[in-house]
Structure 1
Amino acid sequence: MDGRRPRSLWSLRDDAVLEDAEGGRVLVVRSAVDRVRLPSPHPLVRRALDRMMLGPISLENVVDAPRGAFEGSPGTDLIPALPVVLATALGRLQHLVVRSIGLDDRRGPVLSVVPVCRQARFRPVLPPPQRRVRLSCRCRLTLRGADAELFSSAACHRVLLHRPEALLTTRMLQRCVTPAQAADRATAPLLAQAIIAHVAGAGMVTAFPGEEGSGISPLRDPGIFDQFLPRWPD
């Protein structure tokens, strides 16, 4: 078994552009989906966004934090662990921020969750270990060159599967499986759990009731509920 822990990586959408306005007193983040003004941007925010423009990065490197400072178990919401000024800015920019999973092997991201609309809000959601889950019936898996892509007409994100580990785990979700079963079948259990948490957080997983009860919020239907729609504070 491969016990390496997945790493959280952050970047901006490919079409995002940073612009200074009002003599540098305002930082504007512009893309095809929105234009966000950040008044009096903290130097830490500027540094993070400058690096995120170049591709997926670990935020630990931006703030000179110890390795693993902003990591948690699969399904952990990482934003509250960040410095307040950075968490506030990234909270406002969620619909422009790409969330990726990587490993310490210099081969690039394993998976990326890309926002596609202004309403996009994301946090990983890992179902309880024995909860049966599968891809939503609205979700479509297609191959695009070297990558595969998950898309759902009901989701505010698309999920890019860059490496075989992501594709193999996602294919497990084409049939009912529990996160525990998926982890047992994977060569890298923690990575498999992180992949499931990101696909579920993107709103592309259907779950079935389990013996342990509700477990994940919201459960809108006492039978099968269609998607995880994580809440984010306004």
Structure 2
Amino acid sequence: MTIGKDVFAFHEEKFRDLNMKMEAAIVSDVEILVELVGLPNTTKINALRLQIRRILGLNNAAALEGEGYRTIAYDPDWAAGDTPGFYLVLGHEAGHHFCGHSVGDVRRNRWQIELEADQFGGASIKRFEVYHGRSLFGQVFATAASKYAEQGSSLYPPRALRLEALKRGYEQGSQCGGLAPVVEGGFSPGARTTGPPTPCRPVRTGPTSYACEH
């Protein structure tokens, strides 16, 4: 599938001329979606027909729709080099899907749409923290403060409003998607590093997943 040709993209102004194609889906990447919504909400991923795919060279992430699926596409090299930025953007793009921004009245206020996605992103960081049992929001908030334009634009709200929405989502959650709260983790870091008894060179298969190369 090609952005702008086969699928619709949120923030399409960033991607319409890239003519980039998505790689085939990798099963281990599904865990990234679980990090964003939490184990109690995995059925919502299937109900939304949400998938995650890779686009090499994108240096970003995008929310796409086409061929009967909702998709979050991301560049794995960019993700590996900027973990806080990766989850900041992915949480926001997931918000566009779970908040239903591609359906209904397309004349809705664009700033409001972006703030809803930002709030969902903040809530997704909270779920990530519970899932992994570690803190990430401080790094994500700092990344957002450096990334968002102070004055905003016709498409994006000013930085202060976006940071407020991000923090509100982290502290109060988001109504988008009707997701259940996440109260316990589902990830054991030790399981990632134990590996088989034979020699193993870890090879990254996703931002949080590895496979062995012998």
Does TM, scored on the shorter chain, surpass 0.5? no
Point out the structure with the larger strand share.
1
Point out the structure with the larger helix share.
2
Scaled by the length of structure 2, the TM-score of the pair is 0.30
Scaled by the length of structure 1, the TM-score of the pair is 0.28
